[in-house]
């Protein structure tokens, strides 16, 4: 394991919304040193397919890429992603393959066919008050890494929850389609072990980056250029120099790219106490969750 070889640090604020192009997707990247992170293709409204192509074809060498989505579903609490379903996958990579196969006819890397699947749907909370019998109530089933996030003061929601402003379920499921299609091109830590060289994808939770930049979990979203520069300064970054209003997708991506640069070389973050081989293989982990 050699986390010190990263030369670029990218953060992707992701979206699972319907349609082809999304205001909610933002990509930011920075190099070593203290220069401010920059948006990739500023002003461009990305599609999920374009992000996949950028990761596969245009990513600079030795880049640590953080994607703001859940790379898997809860498994450890019940010993299965979908307890009671004979086709429930055994690990995260098999989960990605299943989602992509069920949704193969859906455009724009969408996941409607999976969340409406007659077996899988029993485990999701969907729009219209449709809560599957196996959802579990409350914020839903949480992964071990999400329990670690809770202990840090965050309020994670289950990736089985597809309803409400705090839901991350659809973005996570659509992201899993991307991860499946990147297999063989980019490793995904910790589902894949950290290689000695090359680029790596990890899961991020932008609230953790915002907290490191001096924000509270309840005030993690930044929508003002001056506040953005103050947060970047806490991360030893030059200012972005934006004046007035800034959308929170942009600020999340910029702050998280700068945060990754400050913490990527910390060996402790690559070996959190709760991360076992079984958890790595099934649930994955959020980089920075301790």
What are 178-230's pLDDT values in tens digits? Answer: 999 999 999 999 999 999 999 999 999 999 999 999 999 988 999 999 999 99
Q: Which tokens is 177 given? A: 């389609």
Q: What is the pLDDT of residue 1?
A: 64
**pLDDT over 70 for what percent of the chain?**
99
Q: What is the pLDDT of residue 138?
A: 84
* CA dihedral of 147, 210, 3, 56, whole degrees rounded to 10: 90
Work out the angle at residue 280's Cα, subtended by the Cα atoms of residues 137 and 60, and round it to the nearest 5 degrees.
Answer: 110
Contact in structure between 92 and 284 (CB atoms under 8 Å): yes
Residue (of 67, 54, 59, 80) closest to 188 by Cα position? 67
Helix segments in 125-246, DSSP class H: 144-151, 169-181, 206-212, 225-234
Contact in structure between 164 and 174 (CB atoms under 8 Å): no
47-56, 141-150, 183-192, 239-248: range with lowest mean pLDDT: 239-248
What are 248-275's pLDDT values in tens digits? Answer: 999 999 999 999 999 999 999 999 999 9
Tell me the angle at which helices 92-102 and 169-181 cross, rounded to the nearest 10 degrees. 100
Residue (of 213, 256, 262) closest to 233 by Cα position? 213
Phi, psi of 224 (to 5 degrees): -140, 135
Domain boundaries, the chain: 3-71+186-266, 92-181
Q: What is the pLDDT of residue 131?
A: 82
pLDDT value at 108 more than 90: yes
Return the higher-pLDDT residue of 236 and 132: 236
């Amino acid at each position: 394991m050699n986390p010190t070889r990263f030369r670029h640090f990218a953060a992707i604020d992701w979206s699972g919304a319907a349609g082809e192009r999304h205001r909610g997707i933002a990509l930011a990247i920075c190099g070593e040193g203290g220069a401010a992170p920059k948006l990739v293709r500023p002003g461009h409204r990305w599609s999920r397919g374009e992000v996949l192509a950028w990761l596969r074809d245009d990513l600079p060498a030795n880049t640590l890429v953080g994607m703001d989505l859940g790379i898997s579903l809860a498994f450890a609490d019940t010993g299965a992603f979908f307890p009671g379903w004979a086709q429930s996958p055994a690990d995260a990579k098999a989960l990605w393959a299943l989602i992509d196969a069920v949704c193969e006819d859906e455009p724009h890397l969408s996941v409607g066919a999976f969340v409406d699947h007659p077996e899988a749907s029993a485990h999701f909370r969907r729009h219209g008050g449709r809560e599957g019998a196996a959802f579990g109530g409350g914020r839903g089933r949480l992964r071990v890494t999400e329990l670690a996030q809770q202990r840090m003061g965050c309020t994670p929601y289950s990736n089985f929850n597809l309803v409400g402003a705090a839901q991350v379920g659809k973005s996570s499921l659509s992201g899993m389609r991307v991860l499946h299609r990147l297999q063989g091109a980019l490793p995904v830590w910790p589902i894949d072990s950290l290689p000695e060289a090359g680029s790596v994808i990890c899961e991020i939770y932008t609230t953790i980056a915002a907290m490191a930049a001096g924000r509270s979990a309840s005030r993690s979203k930044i929508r003002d250029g001056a506040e953005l520069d103050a947060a970047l300064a806490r991360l030893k970054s030059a200012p972005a120099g934006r004046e007035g209003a800034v959308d929170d997708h942009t600020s999340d991506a910029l702050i998280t790219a700068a945060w990754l640069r400050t913490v990527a070389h910390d060996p402790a973050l690559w070996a959190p106490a709760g991360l076992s081989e079984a958890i790595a293989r099934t649930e994955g982990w959020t980089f920075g969750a301790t």
